Amino acid sequence: MAITLKINGKNKSVDAAEGTPLLWVLRDHMGLTGTKFGCGVAQCGACTVHVDGVPIRSCITAHEDVEGSDVTTIEAASGKVADAIRAAWEELAVPQCGYCQAGQIMSAINLLETNKSPTDDDIDNAMSGNICRCATYVRIRAAIKDAAKSV
Amino acid sequence: MFMHLAQPQTAAHETPPKTISFEIVNLSRRRFVKGASGAAFTLAIAACAPNKPSTVSEAVAPIPDNSAVASGPLVFISIAADGRTQITNPRSEMGQQVITTVAQMIADELEVAWDKLEIKQAVGDAKYGDQNTDGSTSVRNHFKRFRMAGASMRQMLTQAAANEWGVDISECSSELGVIKHSSGKTLTYGDVAAAASQLEVPAEDSVKLKSRKEWRYIGKDQTSFTIPDVIRGKGTYGIDVRVPNMLYAVVARPPTVFGRIKSLNDRAALAVRGVTKVIRLPDPQGEAAAFQQLGGVAVIATDTWAAIQGREALEIEWEAGANGNYDSESYGRQLRATARKSGAVKLKRGDVAAAMEGAAKTVTAEYYAAHLSQSPMEPPSATAQWTDGKVECWACTQNPQAARSTVAAICGIPEEDVTIHVTLLGGGFGRKSKPDFIVEAALIAREAGAPVKVTWTREDDVRHGYFHAVSAQYMQAGLDAAGKPTAMLHRTVFPSINSTFGPADEGSNFELSLGATDAPWAVPNLQVEVGKAKAHIRIGWLRSVANVYHAFANQSFAAELAEAAGQDPKDYLLAMIGSDRQIDLSKDGVTYPNYGASLEEHPIDTARMKAVLNKVADMAKWGRDVPDGHGLGISVHRSFLSYVATAIEVAVDAEGKISFPGIWVAVDAGTVVNPANTKVQMEGGTLYGISNALYGEITAKNGVVEQGNFPDWRVMRINESPHKVEVHIMESDAPPGGVGEPGTPTAAPALANAIFAATGQRLRSLPLLGQNDRLKMTKEG
């Protein structure tokens, strides 16, 4: 039975099997492929999206559980913090292959939205759930600090 | 009227990149139009820059669209009447910024403005030359070819303008897309593109390349074409491809290589909502897995999750086959035992046995390194669509030509009937050079009668990989009374990559040339031997390949000898490398592949090796006092024709927890096309090496890989990462070396050497931590 989800500010009708993770609804049903599959078990963070402003791992979140919530994906992440993060990411050339970066950015946006000047420990806590196999961590850390300064 | 274009531009690196386009983007909006040549061609669809039109205009190619050109320089370049310049990138983008780098090489010689560039991704086709994006070759093997393409085209455009004016070409010059006659008349590239397309491609010896000081983009920090897309969720990776009416599949593969299905019950799987079909894949043929599919059962469904659920519901009994006894623990013991015995001699200099006899002191050490998985963040994924007996595939492949030939061979159709579209790659590290996953997609889509995307889950990726070889090495050295090495023996034992492609039971000359036979030691008596080792899982190349374990052993052992001699490890290492010279391995009986390059152009140059070593020592302030629990380690290695030295400062606390107060890298990659990106690659290569050295371990029992996902296949996270990696690029006019891989081999030995300096504990077995968070503080290695 179809349910309605609010994705990036728009109501979308979805007819997927109960329990289907939000990740696959976004990617396969809605064509929002910016949110990535990396592990399927909430270990790598590539699938991070915001639900009512809070980062969650969409690979282990049943889509029906976000009915009535606002879901924001990388494609629609916007605002002052998101702009500052993207600007810093571009300036420091953070991404290499870029595959994990949607998740990194979604985690970083929430970090700066809730903590205007994060310490190294704060960054570790907020970002250690996001794996980058290219190991862009040095630049991620620096970019978060740069973005914090500009917000 | 175009004079303003010839004005000096702002610094090249400040010009924002323009568009990048991949044919695979949004297939439902694909356009077919007629090019000037009359051949139908696919227009690339701009994937980036939201303010740009969604399609490249139809007038893009007065010079025949390069998809219709047979070969030669035009294959990479087409120019529109309005001057927009489309560069076709034949290499695979996996984060090394090859799109940008290729554009730099072509656009520099073409002499075209950076903001006029549009990038099109090439399909897999021999007309583009070598497309295998592997071995850090994109610049080092193609530096001249890409520049020649640009320069040839520039010459043709200039000739066309000269023809139009009725003057000799020698009276004409060109700058940033504008051709100028000595009288002051000008024409743009766009004005003459159609006429130029009718001219013969000039002979290579008639084309003049720029001098180094004339380079506009080469050697500059041009910004990435891909990053603006990627940070907006817009880059299209293999796993992101969408084709109308597409279905989704996952595959239950035999847990052992060459395992087979004994029995299959798919009733429950077919009852899963969304599952449309279950099919058996053909078993791989012959003795070698090569690039074949692994066999097993594909579950096809209306979304990926349903396919995964369907796979869970399959009841399959497997027959393990000949590899069902593989136990990596006992295998590791066997490798070590083999390394203690004489092997086949692959390098012989002097008389090691006699020199060992006469040595004042002998030192022996055994090193071990576990299997690794490349595990790019994007697992393998491919989409295939059949039309009238022909197949189109879209995939994150490092090697589209191998994908094309393998799909053709296994599907039994001519290569011309296979099209391989290359997407962005969410990491490659060697895994995506192997097109087995594309073969699966083609086979499944044909059987399904619909376009199908095959997604590998992380467990699939970790369990069914082409693994980096496990290795054991035995090192022995004889020192004279002054502590100087007079004899050295290096035995290396590992399952060869060749075993994936045919019968092979010992390391190949190619693998030995990656850090074993080409070790730079100025030791009068030297011997390198290889021992037997059969493979029982697929062995493949991983970023920097056998250099990883060979550099680990050689560079750790050099530090051990320094310790035995009571000397400073850096000074000792310099002395072991010896005088400035070009090493001639043929004297030692070695046929050295030298990464496919000539030794005249790319000798093994000890002066360059020592220079990076000295530089990194300066950067790290080698020899300074460090706090208690800290230690400095150093290493140097030549790989992929580049020289890299790494110094690492570790801090090991009382509980054995490791952190990184500093990491320094000096690289001599010869001529560097993009310095900023070279630094990024050194950072990434270093941390990839440290991650694998600390945590990387794939094990197998009963032929089945025991790890499956990031909890048990461990990779570095940000809280475990150094905060800084300082990189210095040596100024050099030498021909380009590789950049993507050479940062990795020195990481593990520098780390082990640093831990020794910090703790007195010599660690000879990788990974150092595995699943632990703390070093075991024992005195045993």
Domains of chain A: 3-76 (3.10.20.30), 80-150 (1.10.150.120)
Give the residues of chain A that fall short of pLDDT 70: none
Q: Is B362 left (phi over 0), alpha (psi -120 to 50) or beta?
A: beta
Instruction: Give the gap in angstroms from C-alpha B778 to the nearest C-alpha of chain A.
Output: 29
- What is the C-alpha R_g of chain A? 15
Residue B669 pLDDT grade (very low, low, confident, very high; cuts 50, 70, 90): very high
Confidence at residue B64, expressed as pLDDT on a 0 to 100 scale = 54
Q: What are phi and psi of A136, to 5 degrees?
A: -85, 20
* Residues from chain A contacting residue B95 (CB–CB below 8 Å): 95-98, 134
Question: Within an 8 Å CB–CB cutoff, is residue B429 touching chain A?
Answer: yes
Which domains, ranges and CATH numbers included, belong to chain B? 3-230 (3.30.365.10), 238-322+380-455 (3.30.365.10), 328-372+466-766 (3.30.365.10)
- Are B231 and A133 in contact (CB < 8 Å)? no
Contacts of B147 (CB under 8 A, 6+ apart): B105, B106, B108, B109, B209, B210, B218
Using CB atoms, pick whichever of B227, B715, B725 lies closest to residue A98.
Answer: B227
Q: Are strands B172-175 and B178-181 parallel, antiparallel or unpaired?
A: antiparallel
Those of residues 297-326 in B touching chain A at CB distance below 8 A are: 303-306, 308-309
Confidence at residue B6, expressed as pLDDT on a 0 to 100 scale = 28
Best probe of the A interface among B96, B133, B230, by most A CBs < 10 A, is B230
What Cα–Cα distance (Å) separates residue B731 from each residue in B108, B593, B670?
20, 26, 8
Residue B65 pLDDT grade (very low, low, confident, very high; cuts 50, 70, 90): low
Tell me the per-residue pLDDT of B387-410, one tens digit each, with 9 for 90 and over. Answer: 999 999 999 999 999 999 999 999
Is the pLDDT assigned to residue B705 strictly greater than 70?
yes
Question: Within an 8 Å CB–CB cutoff, is residue B94 touching chain A?
Answer: yes
* Residues from chain B contacting residue A94 (CB–CB below 8 Å): 227, 231
Which long-range contacts does B37-46 make (Cβ < 8 Å, 24+ apart)?
B37/B61, B37/B64, B37/B65, B37/B68, B39/B64, B39/B65, B39/B67, B39/B68, B41/B65, B41/B67, B41/B68, B42/B67, B44/B86, B44/B118, B44/B120, B44/B121, B45/B21, B46/B19, B46/B20, B46/B21, B46/B118
Those of residues 54-93 in A touching chain B at CB distance below 8 A are: 73-75, 86, 89-90, 93
> How many other CB atoms sit within 10 Å of the CB of residue B296?
24
Is the pLDDT assigned to residue B697 strictly greater than 80?
yes
Task: For residues B460 and B312, give the distance between their C-alpha atoms in angstroms, rounded to a whole number.
Answer: 13
Nearest-Cα residue of chain A relative to residue B677: A93
Confidence at residue B41, expressed as pLDDT on a 0 to 100 scale = 25
Q: Which of B637, B650, B571 is nearest to B608 (CA)?
A: B637
Task: For residues B406 and B216, give the distance between their C-alpha atoms in angstroms, rounded to a whole number.
Answer: 40
Question: Within an 8 Å CB–CB cutoff, is residue B245 touching chain A?
Answer: no
Q: Are B763 and B752 in contact (CB under 8 A)?
A: yes
* Residues from chain A contacting residue B426 (CB–CB below 8 Å): 36, 97-100
Confidence at residue B71, expressed as pLDDT on a 0 to 100 scale = 52
Confidence at residue B248, expressed as pLDDT on a 0 to 100 scale = 98
Helix (H) or strand (E) holding A114: helix A101-114
Residue type for B32, please? F
Q: What are phi and psi of B134, to 5 degrees?
A: -165, 150
Question: Within an 8 Å CB–CB cutoff, is residue A103 touching chain B?
Answer: no
Confidence at residue B778, expressed as pLDDT on a 0 to 100 scale = 62
Tell me the per-residue pLDDT of B644-656, one tens digit each, with 9 for 90 and over. Answer: 999 999 999 999 9
Is the pLDDT assigned to residue B171 strictly greater than 80?
yes
Q: What are phi and psi of A129, to 5 degrees?
A: -85, 0
Listed in sequence order, the DSSP H helices in B433-583 are 436-448, 458-463, 509-512, 547-565, 569-577
Best probe of the A interface among B14, B133, B231, B681, by most A CBs < 10 A, is B231
Task: For residues B470 and B708, give the distance between their C-alpha atoms in angstroms, rounded to a whole number.
Answer: 18
Q: Are strands B525-530 and A48-51 parallel, antiparallel or unpaired?
A: unpaired
- What is the C-alpha R_g of chain B? 27
Instruction: Give B6's DSSP letter.
Output: G
Is the pLDDT assigned to residue B779 strictly greater than 60?
no
* Residues from chain A contacting residue B227 (CB–CB below 8 Å): 89-90, 93-95, 98
- The mean-pLDDT minimum among B47-56, B274-283, B428-437, B619-628 falls in B47-56
Positive or negative torsion for Cα B268, B271, B273, B277:
positive
Instruction: Give the gap in angstroms from C-alpha A4 to the nearest C-alpha of chain B.
Output: 18
- Bridge partners of B277, per DSSP, are B300
* Residues from chain B contacting residue A95 (CB–CB below 8 Å): 95, 224, 226-227, 230-231
Q: If 0-12 CB within 10 Å is exposed, 13-18 middle and 19+ buried, where does residue A25 land? A: buried
Confidence at residue B73, expressed as pLDDT on a 0 to 100 scale = 67
Residue B21 pLDDT grade (very low, low, confident, very high; cuts 50, 70, 90): very low
Tell me the per-residue pLDDT of B222-260, one tens digit each, with 9 for 90 and over. Answer: 999 999 999 999 999 999 999 999 999 999 999 999 999
Q: Which of B460, B240, B500, B184 is nearest to A33 (CA)?
A: B240
Question: Within an 8 Å CB–CB cutoff, is residue A50 touching chain B?
Answer: no
Is the pLDDT assigned to residue B46 strictly greater than 90?
no
* Residues from chain B contacting residue A75 (CB–CB below 8 Å): 232-234
Cis peptide before B767 (omega within 30 of 0): yes
What Cα–Cα distance (Å) separates residue B525 from each residue in B348, B350, B545, B575?
8, 4, 27, 15
Task: For residues B157 and B524, give the distance between their C-alpha atoms in angstroms, rounded to a whole number.
Answer: 58
Structure-token pair, residue B725: 């990696």
Instruction: Give the gap in angstroms from C-alpha A26 to the nearest C-alpha of chain B.
Output: 11
Kindly provide the ipTM of the predicted complex, given to two decimals. 0.99
Nearest-Cα residue of chain B relative to residue A76: B232
Is the pLDDT assigned to residue B74 strictly greater than 90?
no
* Residues from chain B contacting residue A123 (CB–CB below 8 Å): 718
Q: Is B595 left (phi over 0), alpha (psi -120 to 50) or beta?
A: left
Q: Are B579 and B606 in contact (CB under 8 A)?
A: yes
